[in-house]
Amino acid sequence: MSTPQAHLETLPRSVQVFLLLGLVALLAFPFAQQDFYTQTVTRMMILAIFAMSLDLLQGITGLVSLGHAAYFGLAGYVVAYVSPQDAGANWLIALPLAMLVSALAALVIGFFVVRTHGIYFIMVTMAFSQMMYYLFFDNKALGGSDGVYINVRPAGWGLDLENKWMLYYFTLVCMVITYAFLRRLLWSPFGRTLNGIRLNEHRTSALGYASFSYKLTAFTLAGALAGLAGFLWAAQTGYVNPELMGFHMSAHAIMMVILGGMGNVAGALIGAFGFEIFLDVFKDLPKIGNFDLGKHWQLWMGSLIVLVVIVAPQGLMGLLRSKKADDE
Amino acid sequence: MSDTLLQAKGLSKRYGGLLAVNDVSLSLHKDQLHAVIGPNGAGKTTLTHLLSGDVAPTQGELWLRGQNVSGWPHHRLSLHGLGRSYQKTNVFLALSVWDNLMLAAQSRHARAPYNPLSWMGNAANDKAVREGAERALQLTGLAQVQQIIAANLSHGVQRQLEIAMVLATEPQVLLLDEPLAGMGASEAEAMVTLLHKLKKDHAMLLVEHDMDAVFALADVLTVMVNGTVIATGTPEQIRADAKVQAAYLGETA
């Protein structure tokens, strides 16, 4: 087994500048573009929140969860259930409630799964999310395989998420808050201890840290933040179905985190945008003779991920940093 | 004795048919170094595991600072004043010496993980934690290498770092499993000097193969053979003990 490595936690100047420019671009974007692209970018920002929430587990704590979508999808269902037929739910109630339900589910499931390590952790997290998936898939009362529609999107207190612009900026604010929260957490006593657990759990507990409580807290927090993303997803699409909790959604998040670079939150953020942009590019590839390149986008995406893992183990973010940062 | 800090009462550990540690009782006192010696496979490391809570005993009790701590998990024992180093170096290889010590020292000031206050603030700026790390750094003389990543240190310095980390958790009882193993002569000498310094204010258990170091440092010696204690006493008593000579030191000793 190889020794766990330190992550690139201190962001190089080049990455900081890149993120700042990105923020400016996101603030200005709806003014420059049509509705369609505004919605595409909203979706990217939601997935970025989801990816960052996973990075708290995968990158910072070293817990690779293959069932993180369970908490994402569950929050979406909460929005659907609390939305009346002919009016929008009050987001001030629906949002905290969605996050709370996701956090509670993560707390209960985490109580069982964070005792396991390595490959067992991966399998058990996947098993629990599949259980949730089939619970919703097989129960007509919960919406069944068709899912549930949200006729009117959440609103309240001057905010109406039916409005695409308001949804866009609300999502942007949520993304910035999530990023700032996790970056701060990374350097906090809690974050340093999670990093210690990732590097050497045995030593960390011998130093007097109750690693179980630390991991369970991280798992619960990550679940709550995935719930935030799930709320926004439901608010955007107006529709939830079991696929949101499915294996593909979980794997999607893992790939975004790997693509961007693990353990520093910024990588997950960049990875989420990068993944979605590459996805659109690959899906738009032309037909060559009988062979439709775009239809086989998964092939190109898979190759890209493999390439990134080989060429840039620290993800796209690792590529962004200058040579100078390497020498320091 | 009133200042007994750690007490093992009839500890046994059975692995299937093998009785690795057989009914061992010993106590560690403040300001004293208690060495455990014995041939390979005598059960010394298993005994250390039992005393540190790494391994649960099949039988027996462990008392730490007047409290029955049998079955306590690792981290609780640490918080109650027990610190140990491992036979195989056990540090955060990817972190600098300073960051290793900061994480160790932080454990004495940590809030519960579910307390949101522990999710905020910069851990590197905590004054009390920095002072704890600084103390351990001075005590072990690692100040010159504090910015070096632990993986890049020599084996001997890594061992010193591990002891520095244990010290940063301000233990009252120190369990050291072969701290001199694999060290060069000068490194070993520095370590012996350090251990001598640490005898003050700590109750120490030392498992070590280097007999010169053991006899130079120990106030009390316990000799184990095949999981059983065959003799306990001062270095002079142990040297003169016929059973020990036969079993361990050899006929000519």
Number of domains into which chain A is organized = 1
Question: Is A2 part of any domain?
Answer: no
Residue A8 covered by a domain = no
Token code pair at residue B15: 């692995």
Whole-number Cα distances in Å, A326 to A5, A10, A18, A29, A318: 15, 12, 17, 33, 10
What DSSP string describes B117-131? Answer: GGGSS-GGG-HHHHH
Is A271 domain-assigned? yes
Nearest to A207 among B76, B104, B126 (CB): B104
CATH number at A22 reads: 1.10.3470
Q: Is B87 exposed, middle or buried (0-12, 13-18, 19+ CB in 10 A)?
A: middle
| Tens of each residue's pLDDT in chain A, 328 residues | 457 778 888 898 889 999 999 999 999 999 887 778 899 999 999 999 999 999 999 999 999 999 999 999 999 999 999 999 888 889 999 999 999 999 999 999 999 999 999 999 999 999 999 999 999 999 999 999 999 999 999 998 888 999 999 999 999 999 999 999 999 999 999 999 999 999 999 999 999 999 999 999 999 999 999 999 999 999 999 999 999 999 999 999 999 999 999 999 999 999 999 999 999 999 988 888 888 888 888 899 999 999 998 888 888 888 876 544 444 4
What tokens were used for A60?
A: 């910072």
Task: Report CB contact under 8 Å: B75, A205.
Answer: yes
In a domain, residue A328? The reply is no
Indicate yes or no: CB of B124 within 8 angstroms of CB of A187. Answer: yes
Structural domain boundaries, residue A298: 13-284+291-323
Contacts of B194 (CB under 8 A, 6+ apart): B139, B140, B141, B160, B163
Could you tell me if residue A92 is inside a domain?
yes
Asked whether residue A7 is domain-assigned, the answer is no
Q: Is A62 left (phi over 0), alpha (psi -120 to 50) or beta?
A: left
Residues of A with CB under 8 A from a CB of B: 3-6, 181, 184-185, 187-193, 196, 199-200, 202-211, 213-214, 217-218, 221
Q: Which residues of B touch A207 (CB under 8 A)?
A: 75, 78, 103-104, 107, 165, 169
Q: Which CATH number fits domain B1-81+172-253: 3.40.50.300, 3.40.50.150, 3.30.365.10, 2.60.120.560?
A: 3.40.50.300
Distance of CA B153 to the CA centre of its chain: 21
Q: Which residues on chain A are in Cβ contact (under 8 Å) with B95?
A: 6, 199
Listed in sequence order, the DSSP H helices in chain B are 44-52, 74-79, 97-106, 127-140, 155-168, 185-198, 211-217, 235-240, 242-244
Report ipTM (2 d.p.). 0.91
- Asked, for residue A233, whether it belongs to a domain, the answer is yes
Place of tokens 């890594």: B158
User: What is the distance between the alpha carbons of residues B53 and B44, in angstroms, rounded to a whole number?
Assistant: 14
Q: What does the radius of gyration of chain A's CA atoms come to, in whole angstroms?
A: 20
Asked if the C-beta of B72 comes within 8 angstroms of chain A's C-beta atoms, the answer is: no
Cross-chain residue pair B119–A192, CB shorter than 8 Å: no
Asked if residue A187 is part of any domain, the answer here is: yes
Q: Does B75 touch chain A (CB under 8 A)?
A: yes
Q: Which of B80, B93, B119, B162 to mutate to test the interface with A (most CBs of A within 10 A)?
A: B119
pTM more than 0.95: no
What does the domain layout of chain B look like in residue ranges? 1-81+172-253, 89-170
Q: Does residue B91 belong to the interface with chain A, where contact is any CB pair within 8 Å? A: yes
Contact A217 B92 (CB under 8 A): no
A251, with CB counted inside 10 A (0-12, 13-18, 19+), is: middle
